Structure 1
Amino acid sequence: MRKFIAAPVALAALLAVAPAHLSAQSAAELGAETSEFVSIAGPTVALTGVKVIDGTGAGARTNQTVVIEGSRITAVGQTGAVEIPSGAEVHELPGHTVIPGMIGLHNHMFFMGAGGRMAQGNISSPRLYLAAGVTTIRTTGSVSPYADLNVKSNIERGLAPGPRMHVTAPYVTGPNPALGDMAQVGSPEEARRFVRYWAGEGVSWIKAYTTIRRAELAAVVEEAHAHGLRVTGHICSITFQEAVDLGMDNIEHGFGTATDFDPRKRPDECPPNSMIRVGEQGDPTGETARALILSMVENDVGMTSTMAVIEPMTKGRAVLDERTLEAMAPEVREDYLEMVDRIEADPDWSMTETHLQKHMAFERGFVEAGGVLAAGVDPTGIGGAIAGFGDQRNYELLIEAGFDASTVVRIVSANGARIMGVDDEVGTIEPGRLADLVVLEGDLESDSAIIRNVTVVFKDGVGYDSEKLIDSVKGMVGIR
């Protein structure tokens, strides 16, 4: 979602675009700027007495030991029954929960705040993602793609702390004067040329945006798959069903952006204020919804939940998380709080609790039907959802939507890995997987707010100090 004005990929595409084996870093390979945030260097670590929610969807297991050797998990099992290697650094952690590193499927490197303020977050975003327990992200639409690629390179070289990054090309849309910072393609050949160029520059995803037309999207999908890339989109001129028929791999945002529910929809046109109309009139459990969900499931098209960016724009849902406010630059915070007050004071504000509840109902129906739902923060809208903290808020909102803890952990970890084709390496806590783990103080299964109590985040078996990362970027969001 941009200005306030998405499951597995299709099987054939998945096989065609399976990524290479993920690289890993040891603590010894990290530069000084990254090493200052390391609290557990390894190489051999045992976490004992923890509750594990492993990302597979299985129930939580208590009094577990997780063994990390080098960059990988080598053992998970009952404390006392798991052999701890000689010389291991043992951390006894009763009263803690361990989950897989979260996978952010809609996690821009830029921030957009109230009034359309936009800033690239090359410093603040990667640190906040990692601090919050998000160890892998997809930059689902880039406004500064070379900045994103350079940050990715610096992280991979150990020069900066941050998550694994799957970089998306600039947004690609149809002709639209209001979208001047996006690639606007007017023909299938323009669309193909766009994909070929960015494939050569090293991106792994293409994101289609609201006014792209069917002929151009078909060309984007075909060319992307031919070059080993995948395609997602925040769509409007294309319905969800049309996106499925055209072979798109993933769809962003869910219910509110599905113009299948807008009776004004015409081919290749985005109806004005469609998100509002859908929220007011659409039925997330009716015949259209059931048919659409079945089609997405049958065609292996996943969906990304982004409720964290919708909530701040919802009347009666003022998001005033103190951590988020402290992370914002003072002027960004002032503009945001002013916008919150405007929403609450406006008797005719169009986005209401009913709208948000419809998003939740559609996502419940999608998961119940067998759809693969992932999640991402989308740090845009009016600015109340920021990197990392918004990912944690997604967890809480999914619990509110009616899912249990094991299901939500799978949504925010393994499902995202599956959509990106890296689920053989990350997304679950199993022997052989990369040691991307989040240690939470408290029992996550009994209280969703525990998702905020991150103490240590392991990436590649290296433990990072969450609090220190957060402190390093206070006041930076919206600036750098």
Structure 2
Amino acid sequence: MGTTTSFFSKLGLFLFLFSGNHHSGYTQPKPKFVIYNQSEIVLENARIVDVVKGTVLSGLSVQISNGKISGIGKTGTKVSKNAQVIDLEGKTILPGLVMLHEHMNYNNGAAVWNFHPVSFPKLFLAAGVTTLRTAGAENPMYDLNLKRQIDKGIVVGPRIFVTGPMFNDASGGFLGDFIISNYEEGRKATAFWADQGCTSFKVYTDISREALRGVIDEAHTRDLMVTGHLGKMSCTEAAKLGIDNIEHSFGSCSSDLKLLWDSTWNVDPEQKEVKDLISLLVAKNVVLTATPFSDSDYKNPVLLEYLSVDERKRVEGYLKDPPPFIPKEINDKQLRPLEKQFIKSGGKVVLGADAADAGLLPGFQNHHAMISMVKAGWSPMEIIKMATIDGATFLKIEKELGSIEVGKAADMLIVSGKPDQKIEDIQNVVLVFRNGIGYDSKSLREHSKGLVGRH
């Protein structure tokens, strides 16, 4: 036991020094992304999406004072002479997006994934993702220190809830996996990363039963959550052990549903195995994170200009000859009916993008995920709710974020059009507020072009 304790002490020192040495790599100059930073701001003539009631209110004003929503009323109501008034005729205000399967690293073909502290935070914020949870990293200290820089206002970006490393067994395939082999190692690793500031923990495909039990026990003593991208272990067993969340929804339940990665799936919500699994997950209050995509997401030429020269060449090669690790759209689409049945049975689904490879980009892919869900049969309002207040509720921050209500943080995105009627309009972001500061979406994106694949 003494050896293990010493190891974690040394690991902490190493990560502290290692992260410190790279501090200058993600401190960045501040171009003029901010266009509104007054202590009092009034947004007039707005269409407001009320995700709590599932309605849209028109002709209203939203008052922002010192980073909070201080009032909502009819446009024309007397406002302070010191307030900055912004006319939003023809535009819609939505709560800031809360996304739950995100990464700050990107696979550019190297043996390990590259951390992207310059481009990714701006791309998330430009799309209106004002809050996110990471979904594991090869070095979570990068994510933790980036979060600190954003919180201090040194770097522009969203709120970040940091998940620890990818806990896995030694038989796992990633070089960046954090190996835990038994119950005691699971508890100690979880305690260590919780002490660093991680608020959730992710287990990966080859995790053992005892190691997962240790992670869950330690996390739950701290009122923290455990999620999983499962493989060898079934979702049934993980749910019985007390896991809180499952990534990629039923795509992680390959052991339960006999799904093979390299074959075409055939899953029916009416199958007994599916019904039994849904009943168990609902009974155990397990939340599913959907990460939908379509083949066209990998083939969007608009996104190529955000890639570095070398990365663009690599992705263009993907478009001609897709590698085997890219998921199959035909399989992913089969998960949507299962998720619908899960919700119908009382389960909760939240949303994420998992944009970390093959030209998929943060922000853009979050919008594409929402569009994919609507194409699968959800209404635009249902998906907007899933991507805002449902995500905030999962993170236990719904009293501060997730909807446009007086007293909550002024986290909002302003879009041209009516995404509550036509979900594709979610892509028309013109202005993003985070804590009452207004950022120009176009400028954030312009300053990210050519950077993905580098930093």
Structure 2 length as normaliser, TM-score?
Answer: 0.88
Alpha-carbon distance between aligned partners in 2 of 1:469 and 1:229, rounded to the nearest angstrom = 33
Letter in 2 for 1:357: K
Which position in structure 1 is the counterpart of 2:49?
A: 53
Please name the residue that 2:312 is paired with: 333
Secondary structure of 2:173's counterpart equals coil
Task: Give the alignment of 1:27-46 within 5 angstroms.
Answer: 33-34=29-30, 36-46=32-42
Question: Residues 471 and 241 from structure 1, CA distance in 2 versus in 1: closer, same or farther, beyond 3 angstroms?
Answer: same
Aligned AA (1:321): N
Q: Which residue is equivalent to 2:180?
A: 185
| Contact 2:200 2:226 (C-alpha < 8 Å) held by counterparts | yes
**In the alignment, structure 1 residue 354 sits paired with structure 2 residue 333:** no
Contact 2:182/2:208 (8 A) holds in 1: no
* Structure 2 SS opposite 1:211: coil
How do 1:64-463 residues align onto structure 2 when only pairs under 5 Å count?
64-80=60-76, 84-113=79-108, 118-176=113-171, 178-263=173-258, 274-277=260-263, 279-308=264-293, 311-312=294-295, 317=296, 319-343=298-322, 352-380=328-356, 382-463=357-438
In structure 1, give the amino acid aligned to 2:160. M
Q: Who is 1:17 aligned against?
A: none
- Give the conservation status (yes or no) of the 8 Å contact 1:176–1:184: no
The DSSP-based 3-state class of the residue aligned with 1:361 is helix
Q: Secondary structure at the match of 1:171?
A: strand
Amino acid at match of 2:124: Y
Instruction: Please state how far the C-alpha of 1:39 moved relative to its aligned partner.
Output: 0.7
1:355 positional shift: 1.4
Amino acid in the other structure paired with 2:378: F
Distance in 2 (CA, whole Å) between partners of 1:151 and 1:301 is 29
**Letter of the 2:138 counterpart:** V
Q: Residue 86 of structure 1: CA displacement?
A: 4.0
Encode CA deviations 1:101-155: one digit per residue, 9 max, x unaligned.
Answer: 1112011110124687731101111111111100011111011211111111111
Q: Does the Cα contact within 8 Å between 1:114 and 1:336 map onto a contact in 2? A: no
Q: 1:471 aligns with which of 446, 449, 453?
A: 446
Paired letter, 2:182: S
Give, in whole Å, the separation in 1 of the partners of 2:270 and 2:400: 35
Shift in Å at residue 349 of structure 1? 11
Q: Percent identity?
A: 30
Where does 1:2-17 land on structure 2 (aligned, <5 Å)?
Answer: none
Q: Structure 1 101/349 Cα, relative in aligned 2: closer, same or farther at 3 Å?
A: closer
RCO (CA 8 Å, sep 6+): is it higher in 1 or 2? 1
Matched residues in 2 for 1:332 and 1:91: separation? 39
Which residue does 1:270 correspond to in 2? none
How has the CA–CA distance of structure 1 residues 342 and 211 changed in structure 2, closer, same or farther, with 3 Å as cutoff? same
The residue aligned with 1:9 is none
Partner residue, 1:10: none
Deviations 1:41-83 (A, max 9, x none): 1211111222211332512222232211111112234434x55
Q: Give the 3 Å change call, closer, same or farther, for CA 210–357 of structure 1 in structure 2.
A: same
- Could you tell me which amino acid in structure 1 is paired with residue 350 of structure 2? A
TM-score with structure 1 setting the length: 0.84
Instruction: State how far apart, in whole Å, the 1-side matches of 2:297 and 2:392 are.
Output: 31
Q: Distance in 2 between matches of 1:350 and 1:433?
A: 39
For residue 352 of structure 1, report the CA deviation from its aligned partner: 4.7
Shift of 1:35: 7.1
Number of equivalenced pairs: 429
Structure 1 residue 206: Cα displacement: 0.7
* Partner amino acid, structure 1, of 2:331: H
TM-aligned CA deviation for residue 232 of structure 1: 0.8
Structure 1: distance between partners of 2:325 and 2:254: 21
How much has 1:304 moved relative to structure 2? 0.9
Could you tell me which runs of 5 or more consecutive residues in structure 1 were left unpaired when the two chains were aligned.
1-30, 264-272
**Is the alpha carbon distance of 1:61 and 1:465 closer, same or farther for their aligned partners in structure 2, counting shifts above 3 Å?**
same
**CA–CA separation in structure 2 for the residues paired with 1:134 and 1:157:** 18
Counterparts in 2 of 1:364 and 1:113: CA distance versus 1, 3 Å = farther
Letter in 2 for 1:337: E
Q: AA paired with 1:466?
A: S
The alignment yields a C-alpha RMSD, in angstroms, of: 2.3
Q: CA deviation at 1:335?
A: 1.2
Find the aligned partners of 1:449 and 1:318 in 2 and give their Cα distance: 14
Residue type at the aligned position of 1:477: V
Distance (Å, rounded) in 2 between the aligned partners of 1:353 and 1:207: 24
